[in-house]
Structure 1
Amino acid sequence: MRRFPGTILSASALALTLALSGCGTGAATDAPAAGTSAAPSSTGSGSDAADGGSAAARDAFFADGVSHRISVAWEESDYADMVAAYEADGAKDWIQADITIDGTVVPNVGVRLKGNSTLRSLSGGGARMAGNANTSNTMEISSDVPESLPLLIDFDKYTDGQTYQGLTQLALRPGSPALNEALALALTAASGQATQRFAYSTYSVNGSPTQTRLLVENPDETYADSLFGTAGVLYKADAESSFRYQGDDLATYEEQFKQLNAEGSEDVQPVVDFLKWLSEASDEEFDAELADWVDIGSFARYTATMNLLVNGDDMAGPGRNYYLWYDLESKKISVISWDLNLAMTGDAAASPDDQLSIGGGGGAVPPGQNGDPGTPPGGSDPASDPAAASAANEYGGGMAGRMAGGGGRGGNELKERFLASEAFRPAYEAAYADLYDRMYGDGTATELLDEIASAVPSSDGVTAEDLAEQAATLRTFIDERTEALEDDV
């Protein structure tokens, strides 16, 4: 299987590549690999649960051939308060819990709700699906079913220095079993791009029936410092962030672009400088000078990947799902994908020229028309207008597709000007052709899907028959996407 130009990998080499790249698919087993946990009766705390926070321990957690068993115990009153806080004003308050992973008890961890559109039903929208009929996510999201909710688990929230298997945080993703998100992560890693590692687990809360859930490493300081092996700063874009210059006061941007590492030595100034330049650059200046600010090759791969995966909720989507990486040596910005739970769920026939969107933003931009269609001239910016944001956010089941025009909460000036520019068209087309071959053309997507599906543990909520049916749906999408793009690349 072709992974990189001129390299052919056998199936066994593929498994090794996935393990080393962090795209662990795991085997369909509840037993952890040697060294991944203590005996079932042990209690993890600090270094003995974490193996000193080492990279080897983190690798073991996400290693190929491993799935996990997780149960969480919290006070029902604390949970009720957490849900009530979110229902009241969208606050994501932390509560204390004990978590048992593969038999190891890690006490006194922090747990909070994680997500945006997925959680909207908790504030009055009623139970909803984590995805739609075309995804491999089948679980309804409801506060009456605590094990259905997406969570962020923070091991050292209440106990300084406590980690598990070298991990400080884990994201428990929405949906079950979320094959599309796992496959999208695996394909991104297999194409040589920065992404997040994942593993599957059976999961329960306070003795509830088990669900099959996807665990994804949550980018934190450790993740940021090891991302590329070079010095840089990682920023997480907030869901309510605005990719626009808003003056020189750094405080304006610090909540919008949360800095994850290098605090004390670096700040958000590089992002502000870039946004200021972007706001002032003419089309000619954009074409001539963008390479001074942005890693063009990396960004071409990012935009091509989002299209290939049919992900309309990327940096231009309503969820603002992306990270910015600022390389301290090259002084250039790259974009890293995040939250791919709506990838591979939309129009499999979308062309390389389509700008995919959810609910109205980020529509097709005519060639040569630079700018941000996410907010029409004279219109409200949903990032600063709660009423506009609320209306724009109501995009139902999250169907990604081709949306003409603007006016929604989505949109990102950098992405749209880049794709509209004839100067950068060759870079985009070259990246697209290469990535199509790596993801679809050589059968990688199908092979990875088979490996991932074989790794997913069954549970009370997901039977082997359920998994087979959902894998078949995703395999059909892969076949349709491969055929649709064959003549375009």
Structure 2
Amino acid sequence: MRRRLVHRLPTPLRQHWKILAAFLTFVAVAVGVFGQARVRPYITGDATVIASDITENVAGSVDFFDTGSSHDVSIEYSQSDYDDMIAAYRDEGEKEWITADITIDGTLVTDVGVRLKGNSTLMGLRGTGGGLGGGPGGGQPRTSEGREPPAGMAMPEGGGAGGGMVALSADDPASLPLLISFDKYVSGRAYQGMTQLSVRPGSPVLNEAVALSLTAESGQPTQRYAYTRYSVNGSPAQTRLVLEHPDEGYANSLFDSDGVLYKADANSSFTYQGDDQTTYTDQFVQVNAEGSQDLQPIITFLKWLDGASDEQFDAELADRVDVDSFARYVATQNLLVNSDDMAGPGKNYYLWYDLGTKKISVVSWDLNLALSGNSDAGPHDSIGMGGGGRSGGGATPEGALGGGMPGGGMPGGEMPGGGMPGGGNALKERFLASAAFTGVYDDAYRDLYSQLFGSGRAVEILDEIAQTVPVSDGLSAEKLASDALTLRARLQTRTDALAANEVIVAG
């Protein structure tokens, strides 16, 4: 990942470093004169500037995202707390926090918060008993949407190269996706500037790591990640992908300009529902700028989108959305064959509102289903859940990037394009349907294809990543090599399928 380290600093610090340096000098002198005083720095003067909430930053022994170092993460918590957490989710659908101790690369951090992470991925835990199969510890593999696969469908073991299928069991705590919070019970604490980390399920999930790296390679904002040897309460070590979770520091480091980051909830509706902000608080979570900004920019945009005619949409969209950035986002999701982007049933995206330009951009999130769809899908084909890549669904052809469902859909209700109920996004759909933006989208698609696939960079990135994945009790060197070989073939299939496409050839 090539994000400059300086971007981990909030924009105001980068812009006013001389003032900050003078202030820190004053603080150092004051502490020397007045003794061990606890001083919390604030930068004031601009309503968009946010005070630092980190008062204790655990340095750790090695940069967590250093791919040249091996990483180990172990978590310890009481069995009774864990049982209560599982029961709360199974019975009420609540993701309750429990207290744990975590050791990262030899550094112990006590009293952190952990809870289950995900929505559809966890649905199998709501069955009778502890396992996904409906009985205690059943561990029945499911799709990432929590549904049983149809008879005859291949299941990538442990998440494999293609993603989308994981085997979760309440009897195997190390198999479950978790959110780790360093400041849940100790206010102001962070680990290497991060307040939260996300443990992904499955192993080695090369598809998600490659998708994250390709997004970063294209210059678009994404999340950093690390492969770790991972254990819970002394369990055998598993290989797990751990991601930085978008927090306030992440939001303030995304762009050079000031802005507000909003996370879309999995149950959100990208529709105008009136001017009352409380209506949207369960649909969009504001990540940063609390107290100085609110949800109004999103409401204003949705109101315009709801009332705009096609002519108004074409003429005015560029005043409200960073069209070039959005075209690259949409093109990237198609290139990566991601069936669960902002238009997918999981509503996996963040919105960035730039306070300077007053425009919205989309930031990708949760790429676990990327590179697991139909490799033949063209730039203007819809990407359906389960492998469907044509506008009308259709069976997944030979050479698809992942095991598709018959008809390109998924059990439980098929929608046009092979999607899932609850999918769709008016902004994306209207953008792709508008002839006014076809050229912008096609240009972005050609550029990204050339940079990431036509150049062979996707395969190179896969090879680089595979070198950093640690083997463990749960992942053998042979399995890792096999998964890497499988994904390499799939990436090449995707590259070849697009090479003759009219959008690519037109450039």
With the shorter chain as reference, the TM-score category is 0.7 to 0.9
- Aligned position for 1:86: 89
1:27-46 to 2 correspondences below 5 Å: none
5 Å-filtered alignment, 1:78-477, equals: 78-124=81-127, 125-126=132-133, 127-129=140-142, 133=155, 135-136=160-161, 137=163, 139-358=166-385, 364=391, 395=410, 404=417, 408-477=421-490
Q: Which runs of 5+ in 1 are unaligned?
A: 1-14, 23-46, 366-393
Q: Distance in 2 between matches of 1:428 and 1:487?
A: 18
Give how far 1:177 is off.
1.1
Structure 2 CA distance, aligned partners of 1:235 and 1:361?
30
Of 79-88 and 58-67, more deviation after overlay is shown by: 58-67
Query: Gapped runs of 5+ residues in structure 2?
Result: 8-39, 41-53, 134-139, 145-153, 393-408
> What is the TM-score with the length of structure 1 in the denominator?
0.80
Pick which of 179-188 and 356-365 moved more: 356-365
- Judged with a 3 Å threshold, the aligned counterparts in structure 2 of structure 1 residues 405 and 149 are, in CA distance, closer, same or farther, namely closer
Q: Distance in 2 between matches of 1:349 and 1:452?
A: 25
**Whole-Å separation in 1 of the counterparts to 2:416 and 2:316:** 30
Shift of 1:60: 2.4
User: d(CA) in 1 for partners of 2:439 and 2:61?
Assistant: 39
Distance 1:442 1:139, change over 3 A: same
**Could you say if the C-alpha distance between residues 194 and 343 of structure 1 is closer, same or farther in structure 2, counting changes exceeding 3 Å?**
same
2:401 is aligned to: none
Deviations 1:67-98 (A, max 9, x none): 31011111111111111111112111100001
Tell me the percent identity: 59
> How far off its partner does 1:129 sit?
4.4
- Provide the rounded CA distance (Å) in 2 between the counterparts of 1:323 and 1:346: 22
Q: Offset of 1:362 from its aligned partner?
A: 11
Amino acid at match of 1:162: R
Q: Offset of 1:104 from its aligned partner?
A: 1.2
Partners of 1:203 and 1:397 lie apart in 2 by 34
Equivalent in the alignment of 1:30? none
1:276 is displaced (CA, Å) by 0.5
**Could you state the TM-score of these two structures normalised by the residue count of structure 2?**
0.77
3-state SS of paired residue (2:223)? coil
SS of equivalent residue, structure 2 residue 63: helix
Q: Is the 8 A contact 2:271 2:302 kept in 1?
A: yes
Match of 1:370 in 2: none
List structure 1 runs of 4+ shifted beyond 3 angstroms. Answer: 17-22, 50-54, 56-59, 129-135, 359-365, 394-398
Change (3 A) 1:166 1:450: same
Name which of structure 1's ranges 80-89 and 292-301 shifts more when overlaid on structure 2: 80-89
Structure with higher Rg: it is 2
Contact 2:61-2:107 within 8 A present in 1 as well: no
Q: 1:406 to 1:454 in 2, by over 3 A?
A: closer
**Residue identity matched to 1:104:** T
Bigger RCO of structures 1 and 2 (CA < 8 A, at least 6 apart): 1
Does the CA-based 8 Å contact 1:449-1:475 persist in structure 2?
yes
Cα gap change, 1:213/1:21 in structure 2, threshold over 3 Å: closer, same or farther?
farther
Deviations 1:207-243 (A, max 9, x none): 1111100011100000001110210000000011000
Distance 1:310 1:197, change over 3 A: same
1:185-211 deviations in Å (ceiling 9; x for gaps): 000000100100011101011111111
3-state secondary structure, aligned to 1:289: helix
